[in-house]
């Protein structure tokens, strides 16, 4: 019987030994980019707004430049937008992810031994 065997991993970027950026923050940024809202992005993820806001504030504070800008509500409502830095981080993280997947895929010898 053929077995379905795969290599799986998750990766994070640490700043001063603190987990700074990984799959959850990537998903949050992509959700903000898609919806224009931290509230809506958090809801899509099943995450509280408070946690999402804390993640955004951490990214904006620890990163060299802000990843997200916000506009307060008003007549037209508020919103959030991913900055150019945020877009570059999304692209760089996805590039790293693709490279790591390619390395894992290249390790067919290990999978053939199991």
Q: What is the pLDDT of residues 20-71, one digit of tens each?
A: 999 999 999 999 999 999 999 999 999 999 999 999 999 999 999 999 999 8
Higher pLDDT, 82 or 106: 82
Structure tokens at 70: 């916000």
Exposure letters 82-100 (e unless 16+ CB within 10 A, then b) = bbebbeebbeebeeeeeee
Task: Judge whether 58 and 28 are in contact, CB under 8 Å.
Answer: no
Question: pTM to 2 decimals?
Answer: 0.85
The answer to whether residue 100 scores a pLDDT higher than 80 is: yes
**DSSP structure class, residue 82:** E
Confidence of residue 72 (pLDDT cuts 50, 70, 90): confident
Hey, what domains does the chain have and what are their CATH numbers? 15-113 (1.10.10.10)
The answer to whether residue 10 scores a pLDDT higher than 70 is: yes
């Amino acid at each position: 019987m053929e077995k379905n065997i795969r290599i799986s991993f998750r990766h994070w970027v640490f700043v001063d030994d603190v987990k700074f950026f990984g799959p959850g923050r990537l998903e949050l940024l992509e959700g903000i980019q898609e919806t224009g809202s931290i509230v809506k992005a958090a809801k899509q993820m099943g995450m509280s707004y408070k946690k999402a806001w804390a993640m955004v504030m951490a990214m904006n504070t620890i990163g060299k430049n802000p990843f997200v800008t916000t506009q307060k509500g008003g007549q037209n409502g508020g919103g959030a937008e991913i900055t150019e830095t945020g877009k570059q981080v999304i692209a760089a993280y996805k590039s790293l992810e693709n490279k790591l997947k390619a390395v894992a895929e290249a390790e067919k010898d290990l999978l053939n031994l199991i």
